[in-house]
Structure 1
Amino acid sequence: MVLSAVRGALGFLSRLPIGHSEAAWDAFAATPAAFPLAGYVVGALVAVPFLAVGLVPAPVVAAAYLAGVVVVTGVNHADGLADLGDAAVVHGDPAERREAMRDTTVGVGAVLALGTALVGLALGALAVAGLPTLAAVAIVVAAEVGAKLSMATLACLGSPSHEGFGETVLSDKRPRDVLASVAAALPAAALVVPAATVAVAAGPVVALLLERWADRRLDGVGGDVFGAANELSRVVALHAAVVAWTLFDWELVDWGVLAWTRW
Structure 2
Amino acid sequence: MAVSAVAALRGALGFLSRVPVGHSDAGWEAFRRTPTAIPAAGYLIGALVAGVAVAPAVVVGLPAPTLALALVAATYLLTGITHVDGVADLGDAAVVHGDADARRAVLKDTTVGTGGVLAVAVVVGGLALGGLGLASLPLGAAVAVVVAAEVGAKAALATLVCVGQSAHEGLGSALTAESSPRAALGVAVVAAPVVALTWPRPAVGVAVLLAAGAVAAGTLRWSRARLGGVSGDVFGATNELARVAGLHAGVVAWTLS
TM-score (norm 2): 0.94
Distance 1:42 1:53 in 2: 19
Aligned residue type for 1:10: L
Distance 1:165 1:189 in 2: 31
Mapping of 1:225-240 within 5 angstroms?
A: 225-240=234-249
1:57 aligns with 2:60: no
Task: Work out which structure has the larger RCO, using CA pairs closer than 8 Å and 6 or more positions apart in sequence.
Answer: 2
Tell me the residue number matched to 2:124. Answer: 118
Contact in 1 for aligned 2:32/2:178 (Cα 8 Å): no
Distance 1:92 1:20 in 2: 39
Tell me the residue number matched to 1:251. Answer: none
Tell me the residue number matched to 2:227. Answer: 218
Tell me the residue number matched to 2:24. Answer: 21
1:246 aligns with 2:255: yes
Contact in 2 for aligned 1:9/1:19 (Cα 8 Å): no
Question: Bigger CA drift: 143-152 or 40-49?
Answer: 40-49
Distance 1:85 1:196 in 2: 29
Runs (5+) with no aligned partner, structure 2: none
Task: Tell me the secondary structure at the aligned position of residue 100 of structure 1.
Answer: helix
Tell me the residue number matched to 2:170. Answer: 164
Higher normalized helix content (fraction of residues): 2
Aligned residue type for 1:228: A
Following TM superposition, by how much is the alpha carbon of 1:19 offset from its aligned partner in structure 2, in angstroms?
4.5
Contact in 2 for aligned 1:10/1:19 (Cα 8 Å): no
Contact in 2 for aligned 1:142/1:197 (Cα 8 Å): no
1:177 aligns with 2:183: yes
Aligned residue type for 1:216: A
Distance 1:157 1:204 in 2: 13
Q: Deviations over 1:83-108 (max 9, x none)?
A: 00000000001011010111111100
Matching residue within 182, 189, 205 for 2:214: 205
Task: Tell me the secondary structure at the aligned position of residue 175 of structure 1.
Answer: coil
Task: Tell me the secondary structure at the aligned position of residue 197 of structure 2.
Answer: coil
Aligned residue type for 1:57: P
1:2 aligns with 2:5: yes
Contact in 2 for aligned 1:13/1:73 (Cα 8 Å): yes
Tell me the residue number matched to 2:91. Answer: 85
1:94 aligns with 2:103: no
Tell me the residue number matched to 1:261. Answer: none
Following TM superposition, by how much is the alpha carbon of 1:204 offset from its aligned partner in structure 2, in angstroms?
2.1
Contact in 2 for aligned 1:53/1:130 (Cα 8 Å): no
Task: Tell me the secondary structure at the aligned position of residue 106 of structure 1.
Answer: coil
1:69 aligns with 2:75: yes
Task: Tell me the secondary structure at the aligned position of residue 190 of structure 1.
Answer: helix
Distance 2:92 2:103 in 1: 8
Q: Would you identify which runs of 4 or more consecutive aligned residues in structure 1 move more than 4 Å?
A: none
Aligned residues: 248
**Percentage identity across paired residues of the two chains:** 54
Q: Deviations over 1:185-227 (max 9, x none)?
A: 1121221111122112322221111000000000000000000
Question: Bigger CA drift: 191-200 or 213-222?
Answer: 191-200
Contact in 2 for aligned 1:47/1:140 (Cα 8 Å): yes
Distance 2:120 2:178 in 1: 32
Runs (5+) with no aligned partner, structure 1: 249-263
Contact in 2 for aligned 1:198/1:237 (Cα 8 Å): yes
Aligned residue type for 1:177: A
Following TM superposition, by how much is the alpha carbon of 1:172 offset from its aligned partner in structure 2, in angstroms?
3.5
Tell me the residue number matched to 1:255. Answer: none
Aligned Cα root-mean-square deviation (Å): 1.0
Following TM superposition, by how much is the alpha carbon of 1:56 offset from its aligned partner in structure 2, in angstroms?
1.6
